[in-house]
Structure 1
């Protein structure tokens, strides 16, 4: 009985932690995270509403233009069960229309906040400051060879792939929504651009390394070679077995007419 009670208590505690009921990980995000330097400069001069640069370490840098209509920005990911989880952020920056950039702690000093709840990460913008024409930037975490992000803002989008990544082949690459164009910069990196306002709930990109095609081709060729080799070996074994049976007189062909005695008795 004690074991069952202990097991039930442990399961309840695990459920509480995984569902966020204990509030673990909520509250203000530490300053060392929101003040950390991004891997590279943010693309402040973008002419898109949302500009995303995917890094080779699967993290991505985002610059989001603000129109001044909302005092807060809510960042999240959908969990697939109708709910949301907070988007982990670091290197948070706020840029005024005049070009002045604030770090995460400076946002707090001017009346703003960067905090996390069980469902989302909330960035409260500096109070009493003009927002129209300003921008918010942050770095977050992604997954290898795939980028997915809700469309937090209405407008145009641009996603820059890491070096040597492609999306052209349908089996390996996929982009959603479909009304996009691709461009290449001077360094050869692929830019996926939605020049018209995105109305979908999510922007999703699956991409691949060029070398992935060679690896897949090599594996496919190996599988075909093994299959052909197995088939030839099987046929050779069948032929050997047939020859052995012939030598033993098992498979001697006979003329059916030689043993044809006509119809059965009573049918003549």
Structure 2
């Protein structure tokens, strides 16, 4: 094998490694540089606004030199949280973008080192479906704003974990608030408020069909009993006491 061939193979191998590393990393520079608008004036240590395809997080940092973002998957392994639109607001109100951070993005977690240990961190993360899950990375109160027209008021079709929360209406949104969270993550499963009518309609249909079926069954039983009486087949078992039949044959 010539030196030129070895060099070519080494170059190909390096490209393959870089491609694999890029595929394994859940966060790219382009993601972090995305434009995003955040509401910095919040009433909680951690505030999340859920949207159709993503959610925004605004986190107040107090003496935190780094933040680790990950969630546990179904197999119990940590998976890095894919984020974008990374920003930081200093205590004097100055807002800087991702270039002020040191970011280490691996498969199992994304580690952020903000430009200051005190201030407000903000990012956007993708999501889908009626479930919301986010890691808990700061102490203090947490607040989650559901998408417009969603709620968690009906058990069995919705839930919020942990359970020590309160809810309030903020315009067309429902806000869920925890005074503190002692878990590694928050989970919220919600439903569309208009789906309540669908659930109620289905329940009413099932109940109506059940009542009609029971009434039909009882009518059929009653009709059969009437036919037995007309044919003289009706036997009252309560009056058929063996002791009233007299002695066995041959002993009378």
Report TM bin, short chain.
Answer: 0.7 to 0.9
1:241 Cα deviation from its structure 2 partner: 4.0
1:156 Cα deviation from its structure 2 partner: 1.8
Question: 1:71-109, CA deviations, whole angstroms, 9 ceiling, x for partnerless residues?
Answer: x321111124432111121222223333333333xx2xx
1:111 Cα deviation from its structure 2 partner: 6.3
Is residue 68 of structure 2 the alignment partner of residue 74 of structure 1? Answer: yes
Q: Residue 50 of structure 2 contacts residue 56 of structure 2 at CA under 8 Å; is this kept in 1? A: yes
Among candidates 154, 157, 177, match of residue 169 of structure 1: 154
Q: Residue 85 of structure 1 contacts residue 120 of structure 1 at CA under 8 Å; is this kept in 2? A: yes
Is residue 39 of structure 2 the alignment partner of residue 43 of structure 1? Answer: yes
Question: 1:165-187, CA deviations, whole angstroms, 9 ceiling, x for partnerless residues?
Answer: 223333444333333333333x2
* Structure 1: 5+ residue stretches without partners: 1-21
- TM-score between the two structures when normalised by the length of structure 1: 0.72
1:147 Cα deviation from its structure 2 partner: 2.1
**Cα distance in structure 2, aligned partners of 1:66 and 1:157:** 13
* Structure 2: 5+ residue stretches without partners: 1-19
In structure 2, relative to structure 1, the CA distance for the partners of 1:81 and 1:235 (3 Å cut) is same
Matches within 5 A, 1:74-223: 74-104=68-98, 107=99, 110=100, 112-113=102-103, 115-125=104-114, 129=115, 131-185=116-170, 187-195=171-179, 197-223=180-206
Q: Residue 152 of structure 2 contacts residue 160 of structure 2 at CA under 8 Å; is this kept in 1? A: yes
Task: Tell me the C-alpha RMSD between the 2 structures.
Answer: 3.0
Q: Residue 33 of structure 2 contacts residue 86 of structure 2 at CA under 8 Å; is this kept in 1? A: yes
Q: Residue 33 of structure 2 contacts residue 97 of structure 2 at CA under 8 Å; is this kept in 1? A: yes
1:244 Cα deviation from its structure 2 partner: 4.8
- Tell me the matched-pair count: 229
SS class of match (1:238): helix
SS class of match (2:47): strand
In structure 2, relative to structure 1, the CA distance for the partners of 1:184 and 1:253 (3 Å cut) is closer
Q: Residue 43 of structure 1 contacts residue 51 of structure 1 at CA under 8 Å; is this kept in 2? A: no
